[in-house]
Chains A and B, each alone.
Chain A
């Protein structure tokens, strides 16, 4: 077994060799499934998720085979003037080490569904699609920490792919602290982008911001941490979100460029501001 997080102070190195302010490798693709309205695949380290978006479409019998989705509703009520964002998360049994199966009613999954829905609804122009529904279906293939952040990022990409008007990217990442809650170490370094082992041993939070701005659209902290450490963690997290936004943006532009090259999209249509060289 490798060392644990307590050795950080020996050389300012985390359990996987990163520094405190480094993201893991993030890799993403959009339009992975041509049949869907929007789709994406995203990796943050070993955390791997897939997303498929359908809609906006008529509510009622759900499209895309998401039967009886108990997804949390975002954007204020299904029958209102705004479109309803319905998120459904499926966590594959093989995605984590202990291969625990999670049922549909799993509390944590329900909570994540609602958080993702609310975060997306903050950016999507749902008022443009009254009485309709946007279905976001997320599949978790592999888990190694920062799962919620990866889900939000993947959902953002898929919504971009689906062409749903939105204010800006919703980019998310996690931030933690290098010493445990009980150690009560005021001077502990904050950490960016926690992996599974760090999430197990250290306090952390997930933050999502609206694009380049400092506007926080989701903030989840499920561990106990001293209030004095929170500010540092949040600063690092928000900064991380900006880095994530850059990466997401690059993925979208790259895809757009390739689509133009391949002739899928005519040059100049809807992408006039894109620099093709």
Chain B
């Protein structure tokens, strides 16, 4: 009887096959054991250009192409290695100082062991991606050495050895192999192979084994100009000191273990969600969890327990007697912790005496309340699943700098105040205090230990003097993660060779004309804001013999120029949207396309993607047609020009008549939308006027609404809706659509109560129609702006609209709440939005103009695209707003004006006023009211704040007030902003 022998024994290759066993836990909490084979080999090259042996066995791909060797034959030297050297960093080095490796001045010829890449990928995907792009850069010469697959460098885990120790050993083995291998090359100057690590144990073992090894700091000191780089390294010793501290020194509660949290979440005893900090109170956060309809509040430093805005955390609900109301007080970090010493971490308690007092007052006030029903479920953070730390823009807090540091180069610990108020102050050790004071700087957070009151970070880059246009603009772009670097060559290579000389081919037999309709005879025009260069859309209309109208919306045919998956497309999909700042536009696509070849400029022929309807005089759709086309716009109007033309009865030419037709139809379309329950929402919009020469802001104007704007908007909505239906029909699983969820009713609770108490008005939120109607009823006959104010506040209760892939939602969820449309997408701005470009490709495939490209049908890929564009879209909006706020501040610089404003939020120690003229809102604190802070009584039931003592005023919600607006540099954020003083109440 034959027995099944263990087959490995009989295999001569057995020695070269190893297996790897690891355990992973799935989302549902199951633990899986995975066994993988590893094939060991000897033909993995060292990739050094000095080597003569490796090229002989170097692998080639299926087409016989070899991978070029990257490590230089004459690498740079340092003071210890004048002969030149290659670097081998361990995982820890990349985790702590990736910025360092991206420097231009040093860190060339780097060998990245495969195990390091693997570990980095498990620890941080963003860092992994940055490292991958370093390995792709030709000048940095980073080489990934697959040590785990090379016979000589493969390391098996020993009995009792931890995974980390084994991986460290694998890195050291790689270093040792390289050193030996290179010594065999008989080169004149054999480069040293140097390991970089911040792990003491690893360094010690390396020294024992006779390997060159340095900590990052030791290494950087050997470099020319190393001093400056030192600041970019989180201090290893610093952190080790902290570790050595007695356990009693911990300021924060310890985090639960990961398994304890996972079990807790699974049992429903703990909850997981994204931590958000209140914009008005840095000691208050909230977290939305699936288990409860309303957000849980997290109050106080100890409960927040080192969470930073955006982190994915796990919380535990506190016993009911510890539940609190959300704070009605404004608490700003700088005001309370102003004079803290960044070095003094020996404070007895995490909550400073002042903070404690502020909280006590808060608690007292809550407890003195008779109405108990207001307390909300309160929670504390017990652990962090995933940090959402990024790079932060900020400036050094002047008051945290010691005198000696301002002069010398001594290392000093200072506080950096991030521009984003929700981020706590960051402790930073630097030798360049004197140079960095008064500058905008970029920093990152490295760690936040239990024993440290504030997170510890390191310096990344200097952006320039505070308040210079360049530094502030860059700060803004960094803060909102906008890709603003010039387009790389690979992207520009995708542009048409003819450049600006590109023309629509004259010969209609040219392949470019294939399946395109010739619409050059139509009287098409575009209507856009003044000075618009990237003209996405143009329109036409003409009467039909049957009394109906033909209306066409023509959109720039961007998908003709941007082919899927080339470098330009990839770049555009990452950028996702153009970003409009007051004085700068960061394009999604290169200028040549955006402002010329795609732009539907007047008097020239352009490729377009047209939607053409037959509409009845009542604006009902008889039919819709989609076609690629060639058009010739007759005129590019500004909104104002078009409006004048429509209003001027003496103009009776065909073009003007067609605009009038469009105008009449658009009004009917709008009425239909409103009847269906579309909301007319509002946000304070202003326009900054610049002096054309210096581009300094000179004035701020509220945007005027013209009928022509609504004309264009209506037809764009119509086009978007029609296209959405068509691509969904063609691709039920993968159409790219845009939805706007109905807001949870509870979002409006506060606003509804405020309206009821203050104005006796009812807000009904059952449906968008009901909401629209009740918003229409929110009028104050004496105050025309009141209605707008309520609309602004209602807008903030809404969900934000999002792109999604149709297969991920059920049809009823497609609904766009704000537009009251069953289905919607973005089609009309492909020059500046990537989603529109995808919709173009899908529509082109749907009408069989071109074959379906896999990237527009792959659901996984589309979901990733949607996720990215949702984030980018939001960031672009925020960046745009921040830019306006900055310029409004600049325009007001040195001026003081009195304006009317409205109270839109009220706290026990201050209130927020919105000034419509500038579209800005600002907090007025009690202590801003008079020299000596007045006494105040706050009635939360009636939203009234009454002050007495040094000044007597009564401030109520929705009240109209007169304020003096001046500019002021905010010491906290270093932003120039607006300061308001209360002049009088009406």
Contact = CB atoms under 8 A, between A and B. Distances in A.
B118 to A, nearest CB: 6
B861 A182 contact: yes
Interface in B820-862: 853-855, 858, 860-861
A226 B564 CA distance: 14
B146 A13 contact: yes
A31 B2 CA distance: 7
Contact of A29 (B2, B32, B145, B858): B2
A1 B36 contact: no
Most A C-beta atoms less than 10 A away, residue of B10, B17, B20: B17
Given A11-B67, A184-B564, A195 B37 contact: yes
A11 B860 CA distance: 26
Contact of A182 (B13, B40, B117, B854): B854
Nearest to A50: B4
Interface string B440-464: 0000000000000000000000000
Closest 8 CB pairs of A and B: A17-B149, A182-B858, A27-B7, A17-B39, A189-B62, A182-B861, A10-B144, A12-B59
A133 B789 CA distance: 84
A230 to B, nearest CB: 14
Interface residues of B, number: 50
Interface of B is mostly: mixed
B1 A17 contact: no
Contacts of A34: 1-2
Nearest to A28: B7
Given A17-B38, A98-B32, 6 more contacts: A10-B146, A11-B67, A18-B39, A20-B62, A22-B39, A45-B37
B967 to A, nearest CB: 51
B44 interface: yes
A165 to B, nearest CB: 24
A21 interface: yes
Interface of A: 1-3, 7, 10-13, 15-22, 24-25, 27, 29, 31-34, 41, 43, 45-46, 97-98, 144, 181-184, 187, 189-190, 195, 197, 224, 226, 232, 236
26 contacts: A1-B24, A2-B22, A2-B118, A3-B114, A10-B144, A11-B145, A12-B59, A12-B60, A13-B146, A16-B38, A16-B39, A17-B39, A17-B40, A17-B149, A20-B61, A24-B39, A25-B17, A29-B5, A31-B2, A33-B2, A34-B1, A181-B854, A182-B860, A195-B36, A195-B37, A232-B62
A224 B117 CA distance: 30
Contacts of A31: 2
B387 interface: no
Most B C-beta atoms less than 10 A away, residue of A16, A17, A181: A17
A19 to B, nearest CB: 6
Most A C-beta atoms less than 10 A away, residue of B36, B121, B122, B145: B36
Given A25-B13, A183-B565, A224-B854, A2 B860 contact: no
B121 A1 contact: yes
Nearest to A224: B854
B565 A184 contact: yes
Interface string B58-98: 01111100010000000000000000000000000000000
Nearest to B63: A187
Nearest to B10: A27
Interface string B5-42: 10100110100010110101000001011111111110
A189 B61 contact: yes
B61 A181 contact: no
B117 A7 contact: yes
Contacts of B32: 97-98
A247 to B, nearest CB: 12
A229 to B, nearest CB: 11
A79 B62 CA distance: 49
A20 B7 CA distance: 24
Given A182-B858, A182-B860, A46 B37 contact: yes
Contacts of A45: 37
B135 interface: yes
A184 B1 CA distance: 53
A7 B144 contact: yes
B909 to A, nearest CB: 51
B38 A21 contact: no
A19 B565 CA distance: 26
Contacts of A224: 854
A101 to B, nearest CB: 15
A197 B24 CA distance: 14
Given A34-B2, A46-B35, A13 B62 contact: no
A197 B22 CA distance: 14
Nearest to B62: A189
A197 B452 CA distance: 43
Contacts of A32: 2, 4
A157 to B, nearest CB: 13
B109 interface: no
B956 interface: no
B168 interface: no
Contact of B135 (A10, A18, A27): A10
A134 B135 CA distance: 56
Given A1-B122, A224-B854, A27 B11 contact: yes
Contacts of A19: 59
